[in-house]
Amino acid sequence: MKQFFKFFTASCLGVFAAIAMISLVGILMISMASSKDTTVASNSILKLDLSRIIPEKSGNVKTDPFNMDATEAIGLRDLRRTIQNAAEDSNIKGILLTHKDVSLGQATIKSIVDELNKFKESGKWIYSYGDYYGQSAYFVNSTADSIFLNPNGMVDVKGYATMIPFFKEGMDKLGVKFDIFYAGNFKSATEPFRRTNMSEPNKLQTRTFLDGMLDVFQEQVTTARGFDVATLDAIMNDYKGINGKSALQANLVDELLFWDDLQDILRKKLDIKENGKIEFIDLEEYKSKITLKEEGPRNNRVAIVYAEGNVGYGADEKGSISDKKYMKIFEKIRADKKIKAVVLRINSGGGSALTSDIIHKEIAHLKADGIPVVSSFGDYAASGGYYIAANSDTIVSMPNTLTGSIGVFSMLPNAQKLANEKLGVNFDTVRTHQHAITMSPYLDMSPDQKAMVQSETDAVYDQFLTIVSNGRGMTIEETHEIAQGRVWTGMAGKEIGLVDVIGDLEDAIKIAGDMAGLDKWKIKEYPSIKKEWYEDLIKGLNKGSSARALIPNDDLSRTLIKDYSELKSIMEMEGPQCRIPYLYKFN
């Protein structure tokens, strides 16, 4: 026993020493961070590279402890405010766009495009340079006064398309099948598991919203580049951006040159001597040197509640919407008498029907307390994402938001054949009641059980229709006509009554403040983002090291990881789901 306590005491001392060492490192890092340099060099150029994750709220993304890049993800609102600050900063002379591709949602891109167009109203310039421009990157870079391209580069502008993988045949070969129940002819989230191609209703809705996204893209590009829609259609159909020379002839770019040549142009623009140093500052560094203050009276606040990511039940992590976390948020808001209005900023394709209903009830409580609620839509506000917004006083959407998808499905995996025939594993049961073993992944569902699940799915759909009908002032029949799981763009949603105003988050904030009768207000943001204990440690260790190179960070790796995460979330879901088709990718 004495030997045990000896080793136990030694182990405890070792643990405490390790904790003390980590704490010391953390304190040193915090000390270093507090003495940051806030000086922006005069005659600087803000370099903007959007080949990054941009959440709605800064830092509101799930942290990967194995990724040595611990730089906080700058949120969309903070990014826009940083650009606004640059427009007024005499040390910033212009913006250089340097991304080759942008993997952001279309509504997020449109918001950034709008902000860059406002930046130019300050009289400052925007240039763009790249070896290659993807279509989404070109959407952003069309705001530039001059677009420069490497002579050997290309502009990959060819129209919108989406490609959806179907897993049914692969699952059949593995011996896995799915019992699928859904309400709504357009509710296509389960199609990859029950079909080998897209249904006609799915093709119809997909073509319709792709055309809506194309309209927004074409409006920006034709206005910026000075040609009509027919000309742009011909450029995309003939793939005129396939090489630099063709892109120049098609007026997609202004000049073909190399990076060294661009630097000479920038030196002349900034009146810098030949071979003189050009002061570039990237977005993260610039944001770290400025203060984005929330002006306004403290007693009159408008709360922004960011609801982004998957709607889940129970799980509480950054970049997701959980029941308990958001119930606590709304309880705090109702208890805070300084908060006079709420903006619910949604960027979600939905998820758990149960959690969606819980949050919907919280919105009802806010309204019952006399607090106006305005919903603002980002890239997605569909299915469960629309459910939580349906009873808002006003709904504001971007024109190319994907919304609607008012439908429900349930999906249960069955791996009995895999277990029996592939692995040689068999199951036998003893039960006291008929349904004591229900929805097992290793047993076939009985007809009665299937009927029960379909009945529950239909009941949730009827409830969804009632929620939207009451919130939007429609009859059940009118709601069903535009529901059935169909996905709409924000612009189309306004035409059919799902949306009130086409606009961005700032428009929604203004509407909320006006509804509360406020002339001025201060913004309060939720949820609060807490850093993981290891984030500052990783950030410090990463300085000057090449550890980050060990983590795959290329486009293909990011895409595969995202696909796996989305597929995993589908496989792990429980209960009826209000969820958009999950693998939309726009080329």
From CA 140, how far away is CA 155, in angstroms rounded? Answer: 13
Q: In which residue ranges of the chain is pLDDT below 50?
A: 1-10, 12-13, 15-18, 20, 24-34, 68, 533-534, 538, 541, 543-552, 583
Q: Name the residue with tokens 């897993």.
A: 167
Position 300, amino acid: N
Mean pLDDT of the chain: 88
Q: Does residue 9 sit within a domain? A: no
- In this structure, the answer to whether residues 398 and 260 fall within a common structural domain is no
pLDDT of the residue at 317 = 82
CB atoms within 10 A of CB 173: 10
Domain end marker among 289, 321, 348: 289
Q: Does residue 489 sit within a domain? A: yes
Q: Does residue 10 sit within a domain? A: no
Q: Does residue 453 sit within a domain? A: yes
- Is the overall model pTM greater than 0.85, yes or no? yes
- In this structure, the answer to whether residues 349 and 321 fall within a common structural domain is yes
CA atoms within 13 A on the CB side of 581: 28
Q: Does residue 396 sit within a domain? A: yes
CB atoms within 10 A of CB 189: 27
From CA 215, how far away is CA 383, in angstroms rounded? Answer: 23
User: The CATH number of the domain where 76 resides is what?
Assistant: 3.90.226.10
In 3D space, the residue among 568, 506, 476 whose CA is nearest the CA of residue 114 turns out to be: 506
- In this structure, the answer to whether residues 284 and 317 fall within a common structural domain is no
CB atoms within 10 A of CB 554: 8
From CA 343, how far away is CA 525, in angstroms rounded? Answer: 10
Element (H, E) at 155: strand 146-156
Phi, psi (deg, nearest 5) at residue 210: -65, -40
Element (H, E) at 177: strand 177-183
- In this structure, the answer to whether residues 53 and 123 fall within a common structural domain is yes
Domain end marker among 289, 323, 351: 289
- In this structure, the answer to whether residues 370 and 256 fall within a common structural domain is no
In 3D space, the residue among 341, 350, 338 whose CA is nearest the CA of residue 307 turns out to be: 350
pLDDT of the residue at 502 = 99
- In this structure, the answer to whether residues 248 and 381 fall within a common structural domain is no
- In this structure, the answer to whether residues 249 and 358 fall within a common structural domain is no
From CA 147, how far away is CA 98, in angstroms rounded? Answer: 11
SS3 assignment, position 319: coil
Model confidence pLDDT, tens digit, residues 480-495? 999 999 999 999 999 9
Q: Does residue 204 sit within a domain? A: no
From CA 368, how far away is CA 383, in angstroms rounded? Answer: 24
Model confidence pLDDT, tens digit, residues 162-193? 999 999 999 999 999 999 999 989 989 899 99
SS3 assignment, position 69: coil
pLDDT of the residue at 438 = 84
Two structure tokens written together for 171: 């699952």
SS3 assignment, position 321: strand
44-48 and 92-97 beta bridge pairing: parallel
Phi, psi (deg, nearest 5) at residue 193: -105, -5
Q: Name the residue with tokens 């002579």.
A: 151
pLDDT of the residue at 9 = 45
Q: Please list, in sequence order, all residues whose beta carbon lies within 8 angstroms of the beta carbon of residue 562, skipping any fewer than 6 positions away.
A: none
SS3 assignment, position 137: helix
- In this structure, the answer to whether residues 449 and 512 fall within a common structural domain is yes
Two structure tokens written together for 492: 């189309």
Give the range of the structural domain holding residue 131, as residue numbers without chain letter: 44-158+239-289
- In this structure, the answer to whether residues 265 and 338 fall within a common structural domain is no
pLDDT of the residue at 38 = 77
- In this structure, the answer to whether residues 281 and 338 fall within a common structural domain is no
Question: DSSP readout, 485-521?
Answer: T-EEEHHHHHHHTS-SEE--HHHHHHHHHHHTT-SS-
State the total domains in the chain. 2
From CA 75, how far away is CA 60, in angstroms rounded? Answer: 8
Element (H, E) at 402: strand 402-404
Q: How many residues does the chain have?
A: 587
Two structure tokens written together for 480: 């069903």
Domain end marker among 251, 267, 289: 289
- In this structure, the answer to whether residues 465 and 495 fall within a common structural domain is yes
Q: Does residue 284 sit within a domain? A: yes
Q: What angle do CA 298, 365, 529 make, to 5 degrees?
A: 50
From CA 93, how far away is CA 123, in angstroms rounded? Answer: 10
Sign of CA dihedral 500, 502, 504, 508: negative
Q: Does residue 13 sit within a domain? A: no
In 3D space, the residue among 242, 106, 120 whose CA is nearest the CA of residue 162 turns out to be: 106
From CA 272, how far away is CA 265, in angstroms rounded? Answer: 10
Question: Is 99 buried (19+), middle (13-18) or exposed (0-12) by CB count in 10 A?
Answer: buried
Distances in Å between the Cα of 203 and the Cα atoms of 105, 185, 197, 378 are: 20, 12, 10, 23
- In this structure, the answer to whether residues 256 and 401 fall within a common structural domain is no
Dmax over CA atoms of the chain, in Å, equals 89
From CA 111, how far away is CA 88, in angstroms rounded? Answer: 19
177-183 and 408-414 beta bridge pairing: antiparallel
Quick check: 340 and 371 in contact, CB under 8 A? yes
From CA 562, how far away is CA 194, in angstroms rounded? Answer: 22
Beta bridge partners of 311: 321, 351
Element (H, E) at 168: helix 168-174
